């Protein structure tokens, strides 16, 4: 299947590790040009080293805290100055801290919205407007299935995820007439660095060890295993590509059938 991604400029937030980095590797393999945005300059440097097999002039990195709208705008400006107009935006930055419900505070809810919801919106807003003015573009939000299924260790983050799912559907409708598609993938448990924080919170809530929490989590997945970042990245590539030219406004669950519901 021809994805027609060669030479396109892909901006990936949270692109220095985990699912974001897996997306970067996959887009580069298709011949795209990739900008990575992340808060941590050290993580970006390590990501660039991992991508060293690709042409250096096809990779740009920019450190920015996307909880700050002005920083997001500056990051977009820098990335477009380096590699040209952004044709695909992949949002994978930010993660709300997983916290058992009895440990929550009002500040924890606010922090979750800043970390996950606004870090996405601050980049989506200027990018989608530019895409609309140019008459085309694709946005893929990597959100999380916690926005569909409430978890007692992920309520603030789940609320932020649910808000992003609604924004995904709403923006898709608003910008369809200008040739911009907006979709989302909602991973379940995925083998990334962030996984350990969630397992630790789950273990505290249940009064068990982290290893047992892992075993119980896997046991709840009908496929019998957690996803790896590369599997999520392949779905992102498809949604971003011309092969998905009539798909917009959808939120795709990728949790190994752990929540077998009709949506």
Give residues with Cβ within 8 angstroms of 194, minimum separation 6: 18, 95
User: HSE on the CB side for 209, CA within 13 Å?
Assistant: 3
Quick one: pLDDT at residue 140? 98
Kindly give the parts of the chain with pLDDT less than 50. Answer: none
- 136-171 burial, b at 16+ Cβ within 10 Å, e below that, comes to ebbbbbbbbbbbbbebebbbbbbbbbbbbbebbbeb
Element (H, E) at 136: none
pLDDT of residue 46: 94
Give the three-class secondary structure for 241.
coil
What pLDDT, on a 0 to 100 scale, did the predictor assign at position 53? 75
pTM confidence score: 0.93
Q: How far apart are CA 230 and CA 212, in angstroms?
A: 26
Fold of the 9-254 domain: Rossmann fold (3.40.50)
From residue 129, how far is each of 30, 58, 185 by CA, in Å? 26, 24, 22
146-191 pLDDT tens trace = 888 888 888 999 999 999 999 999 999 999 999 999 999 999 889 8
Rg, Å, the chain Cα set: 18
Distance between CA atoms of 194 and 226, rounded to whole angstroms?
13
In contact, 180 and 138? CB cutoff 8 Å:
yes
Distance CA 174, CA 154 (A): 30
């Amino acid at each position: 299947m021809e994805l027609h991604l060669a030479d396109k400029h892909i901006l990936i937030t949270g692109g220095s590790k985990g699912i974001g980095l897996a997306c970067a590797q996959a887009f580069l393999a298709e011949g795209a040009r990739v900008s990575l945005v992340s808060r941590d300059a050290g993580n970006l440097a390590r990501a660039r080293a991992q991508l060293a097999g690709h042409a250096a002039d096809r990779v740009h990195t920019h450190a920015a805290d996307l909880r700050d709208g002005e920083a997001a705008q500056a990051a977009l400006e820098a990335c477009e100055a380096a590699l040209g107009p952004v044709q695909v935006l992949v949002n994978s930055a930010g993660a709300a801290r997983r916290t058992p419900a009895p440990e929550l505070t009002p500040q924890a809810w606010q922090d979750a919205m800043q970390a996950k919801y606004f870090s996405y919106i601050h980049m989506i807003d200027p990018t989608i407007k530019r895409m609309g003015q140019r008459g085309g573009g694709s946005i893929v939000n990597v959100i999380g299935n916690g926005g569909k299924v409430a978890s007692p260790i992920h309520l603030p983050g789940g609320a932020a995820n649910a808000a992003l799912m609604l924004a995904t559907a709403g923006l898709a409708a608003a910008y369809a007439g200008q040739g911009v598609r907006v979709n989302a993938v909602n991973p379940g448990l995925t083998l990334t660095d962030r996984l350990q924080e969630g397992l630790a919170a789950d273990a505290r809530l249940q009064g068990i060890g982290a290893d047992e929490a892992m075993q119980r989590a896997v046991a709840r997945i009908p496929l019998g295993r957690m996803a790896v970042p590369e599997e999520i990245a392949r779905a992102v590539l498809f949604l971003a590509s011309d092969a998905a030219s009539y798909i917009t406004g959808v939120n795709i669950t990728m949790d190994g059938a752990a929540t077998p519901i009709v949506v």
